[in-house]
Amino acid sequence: MTGHGVPLELYQLVAALLFTIGLVGVLVRRSALVIFMSIELMLNAVNLSFVAFSRLHGQMDGQIFVFFVMSVAAAEVAVGLAILVAIFRNRETASVDDVHLLKG
């Protein structure tokens, strides 16, 4: 119990649902941009989970974690979008199935 009526399990349920939706987005969408957004969605689902647990235990460490997750997300978006722009400039595409450089 979170102490004010809404059980913790419900927050976890919402977090799980959002995470799964994000996962589907990453796995099935072609657009690299949307895949990035889906990743943000997954990160936010985890953030929700962190904050809920933080409230449950009455400790702020969970919120601090959210803070760090946001910093990492910002860094990731900056670099990821830069890569995306670079790829698009050279190949005129933003679809992940048009690019297969990630192999030895």
Partner 1 sequence: MAEVILFTAFALTAVAFALGVIFRRNAVHCALHLVGVLLSLSGMFVLLNAQFIAAIQILVYAGAIMVLFLFVVMLLNVKGETPLLTPGAAKGFGFLFALIAFVELLWIVLAPGGEEVAPPPAPPLVPGFGSPAAIGRALYTTWLFPFEVTSILLLVAVIGAVVLAKRKFF
Partner 2 sequence: MGLNQLWLVPALPLLGAILNGIAAGKLPRKVVSVIGVGSVGLSLLIALACFRELLALPEDARRVTQGLFTWVQSGDFQADVRYALDPLGAVMMLVVTGVGFLIHVYSTGYMGHEKAYGRYFSFLNLFTFSMLTLVLADNFLLMFLGWEAVGLCSYLLIGFGYQRPAAAEAGKKAFVVNRIGDWGFLLGIFLIFVTFGTLDFSAVFAQAPQKLAVGSALAAAIALLLFLGAVGKSAQIPLYVWLPDAMEGPTPVSALIHAATMVTAGVYMVARCHVLYLLSPVALLTVAIVGAATALFAATIGLVQNDIKRVLAYSTVSQLGYMFLACGVGAFASGIFHLMTHAFFKALLFLGAGSVIHALSGEQDLWKMGGLKPHLPRTHATVLVATLAIAGIFPFAGFFSKDEILWNAWLHGGPVLWGAGVVGAFLTAFYMFRLYFLTFGGRSRVTEEAKHHLHESPNSMTVPLIILAVLSLVGGLVQVPLLSGGQRLDAFLEPVFADAALVAGTGVAHGAASVAGSAAAHGAASGAAHAPGVEITLMVISLIVALSGIFVAHRFYVADPDLPCRLAERAKGFYRLLFNKYWIDEVYDSRIVQPIYRGSVRLWERFDAAVIDGAVNGVGKQIERGAALLRQAQTGYVQVYALILTLGAVVVLGYLALR
Q: Which residues bind partner 2 (CB under 8 A)?
A: 23, 26-27, 96-97, 99-104
Query: Binding partner of residue 84 among partner 1, partner 2, none, CB under 5 to 8 Å per kind?
Result: partner 1
Contact with partner 1 (CB under 8 A) among 22, 98, 100, 104? 22
**Closer residue to partner 2, CB minimum distance, 79 or 99:** 99
State the Cα–Cα distance between residues 103 and 97, nearest whole angstrom: 14
State the Cα–Cα distance between residues 22 and 26, nearest whole angstrom: 6
State the Cα–Cα distance between residues 60 and 50, nearest whole angstrom: 10
Q: To the nearest whole angstrom, how small is the minimum distance from the Cβ of residue 99 to partner 2?
A: 8
State the Cα–Cα distance between residues 75 and 82, nearest whole angstrom: 11
Binders of partner 1 in range 61-100 (CB under 8 A) = 61, 63-64, 66-68, 70-79, 81-91, 94-97, 99
Among 25, 26, 27, 31, smallest CA distance to 95 is for 31
Query: Binding partner of residue 1 among partner 2, partner 1, none, CB under 5 to 8 Å per kind?
Result: partner 1
